[in-house]
Structure 1
Amino acid sequence: MRQLTKISNFAGNTFAVWIIIFAILSYFIPEGFTWIAPHISLLLGIIMFGMGLTLTVDDFKAVFQSPKSVIIAAISQYTIMPLVAFGLAVLFKLPPELAAGVILVGCAPGGTASNVMTYLAKGNAALSVSATAVSTLLAPILTPFLTWLLARQWMEVSFWSMFISVVQVVLIPIVLGVLVQYFFKKQVEKSTAILPLVSVVGIVGVASAVVAVNRDNLLSNGLLIFLVVVLHNCLGLLLGFFVAKLLKLDYPSQKTISIEVGMQNSGLASTLAIGYFSPLAAIPSVIFSVWHNISGPLLATYWSRKGNEIQPPVSGVNIGK
């Protein structure tokens, strides 16, 4: 078990590397990965179940101890990224499927990797966990609604069908994970160390499948989508930080909200894109998955070296201290 834990930690720490390696492999050997595509929803469900196993009642106490920070994080998550995605789709005159895919990434909840990035950046870890949990629980309603609102001029969007899918692959697995963790706490504690490995395998599998079925489309559209994704992620990080600063949150919380806004649940976006639009629409989420696992660690490293000396904590806002 100890050896497996070491492997799991190594996989989690080198996540971006594995994404890149298998993206390249699936591009050059697509027949080795296309078989994964029909199982993408299952893989995401397993990842979300693992997230549920790590959530406890204490993770939600921060919501009530300092609701201002969590509310700012949630509102920023579901306004900045969707609107930036819409603006980029219009600005670059993206084809319908790619426009819908970019918007779908923007309408997804925060990614679980943001918690690790916040910790490394010396941000507000309690706020990060609460914000990710809240945005994920809001996803069954807000992700389909915002996608319908912003993407319908390019593609037909079924709110109710997408709502049911998000409930099935996100909400139900998370609730089951929380219940298992609550009733079998001791047993779960022994297995949580390997959850990073499970998440890495699942997300790498999703990304590899999407690349494999989109080999030709990547060749013709890859550079354009990469540019859009980089702008989307960087603008999300920047605007999230300045919104938190404008609303006078403390410096650790500013960093946290920046990371929460900029890092998306690209696995969910991939699943919904393939299920409701086309494999082509899933390309932005796969590229986003690769890129935000590069930009996130780079930003976290910069902030960790910079420290928290810039601004003193603001009383009553910095939760979990």
Structure 2
Amino acid sequence: MFLLIPGSLVIGFLCSSVLRPMVDAVPYLFAYVTLTMAIGCGLGQLRQVLRRPGIIGWTFVLTHIAAPLIAYGIGAALFGAHSPYVVGFVLFAIIPLGVSSVLWVGMSGGSVALMLALVVIDSAISPIVVPSGIKLMFGAVVDIDTGGMIRDLVLIIVAPTVIGVTLYELSKGRIQSKVQHIASPISKLCFVAVVALNAAAIEPYVEQLKDDMIRLVPVSILLVAICYALGYFGALPFRNRETLVTVSYASGMRNISLGIVLAMGYFDPLSAVPVVLSILIQQPMATLHHYVLQKLNKPDAGERSPIHVR
């Protein structure tokens, strides 16, 4: 991630004139990435997680209510309530949970099944959560094609998720191991392409950002850190290390590529800038968070060892 994400951003900026005509392919590339995630989750895992509605509901309160309100407050205080940057900060906070969080949860000793199910459920409800959240916070200030956004979210998130879960069930869970050696590398290439194409799309606007970057970068770092902290401290009442690890990563990591797609498709292109910056910050922050978790919350002798995801 440290190499792929910055590298694809650089390629997108340097080759923007060549890549810009292909930007329309982004939703379809992203739909494939979602599909490869969904084939690892079945109805049994979803049912298991639904037996713990308190954790699910609380995670979504932290990620889709508390985090967007904090993002709006910080952005409005520094840039003004009507700034496109504020829309970008809120969009980062309100988009669905990140697929790569599943890997970090596994490496840090959290519940992979819970995290995977949270991602799938959150992706499925995103056509309701994202447009309604933006509309409630900005109202008439931001002119949103709500119908178009819902249609795109269904295309790139909901439909691939449903197809993936269905394939998992029909194959009795065997499909992921059968196709992973092919599907996973292609998924990474699609992810790189999504980032590069969106970088190419915003390249013409970069000249406008020189004076704002001094404030944008620190605020983006602060917001990502706050999202991790929300999950960590919000999960403390559960008094369970596995839950704490899972909820903290769920709160800290967002589906950034989707955020860029929505920012470029439905808002001022400048609103995509905080989302792009978050791409560079989110993964290094995940590494730091992993280190902090290992130091502060070492498994007790009676706990099982962390799950490692191949």
TM-score, length basis structure 1: 0.84
Which of 66, 72, 76 is 1:90 aligned to? 76
Q: What's the secondary structure of 2:254's corresponding residue?
A: coil
Tell whether 2:288 aligns with 1:301.
no
Q: Which residue of 2 aligns with 1:292?
A: 282
Worse-matched range after superposition: 256-265 or 208-217: 208-217
Larger displacement relative to structure 2 (233-242 or 22-31): 22-31
Distance 1:144 1:106, change over 3 A: same
Alignment correspondent of 1:212: 200
Deviation at 1:151, TM superposition (A): 3.0
Q: Provide the rounded CA distance (Å) in 2 between the counterparts of 1:39 and 1:205.
A: 9
Partners of 1:125 and 1:182 in 2: CA distance: 18
Q: Does 1:102 align with 2:92?
A: no
Residue type at the aligned position of 1:79:
I
| Per-residue deviation, 1:213 | 2.5
Q: 1:153 to 1:291 in 2, by over 3 A?
A: farther
Contact 1:240 1:261 in 2 (8 A): yes
Determine the structure 1 residue equivalent to 2:118. 131
Give the Cα separation in 2 of the matches to 1:218 and 1:196.
32
The CA distance in 1 between the partners of 2:227 and 2:301, in whole Å, is 22
The answer for the alignment partner of 1:230 in structure 2 is 221
Q: CA deviation at 1:86?
A: 0.9
Q: CA deviation at 1:177?
A: 1.7
Q: Letter of the 1:173 partner, please give it.
A: P
User: Mind listing any 5+ residue stretches in structure 2 that lack a counterpart?
Assistant: 304-310
Q: Is the 8 A contact 2:149 2:262 kept in 1?
A: yes
Deviation string, structure 1 residues 131-158 (Cα, Å, up to 9, x no partner): 2222212211111110111133642123
Identify which of 242, 256, 264 aligns with 1:252.
Answer: 242
The match for 2:268 among 257, 264, 278 is 278
Structure 2 letter corresponding to 1:253: T
Q: Who is 1:171 aligned against? A: 158
Unaligned segments of structure 1, at least 5 residues: 1-14, 314-321
Correspondence list, 1:151-170, <5 A: 151-152=138-139, 154-170=141-157
Instruction: State the AA in 2 paired with 1:139.
Output: S
Q: Report deviation, 1:240.
A: 1.5
Using the alignment, how far apart are the partners of 2:18 and 2:70 within structure 1? 35
* TM-score normalised according to structure 2 size: 0.87
- Alignment-derived partner of residue 118 in structure 1: 105
Please name the residue that 2:38 is paired with: 52
Amino acid in the other structure paired with 2:206: L
TM-superposed CA distance for 1:161, in Å, is 2.8
- The amino acid that maps onto 2:71 is A
Q: Cα offset for 1:312? A: 8.7
Counterpart contact for 1:120–1:301, Cα < 8 Å: no
Deviation (angstroms), 1:112: 0.7
Q: Give the deviation of 1:225 after TM superposition.
A: 2.8
| Percent of residue pairs bearing the same amino acid type | 19
Are positions 1:30 and 2:21 aligned together? no
CA distance in 2, matches of 1:125, 1:188: 15
Asked if the contact 2:109–2:242 (Cα under 8 Å) also holds between the matched residues in 1, the reply is: yes
2:269 aligned with 1:269? no
Deviation for aligned residue 1:50: 1.5
User: How far apart, in 1, do the equivalents of 2:170 and 2:299 lie?
Assistant: 42
**Would you say the 8 A contact 1:122–1:308 is kept in 2?**
no
Q: 1:85 to 1:199 in 2, by over 3 A?
A: farther
Question: Could you say which residue in structure 1 is the equivalent of 2:177?
Answer: 189
The 3 A distance-change label for structure 1 pair 74 and 205 is: same
Distance in 1, Cα, partners of 2:137 & 2:225: 20
Contact 2:41 2:117 in 1 (8 A): no
2:306 corresponds to? none
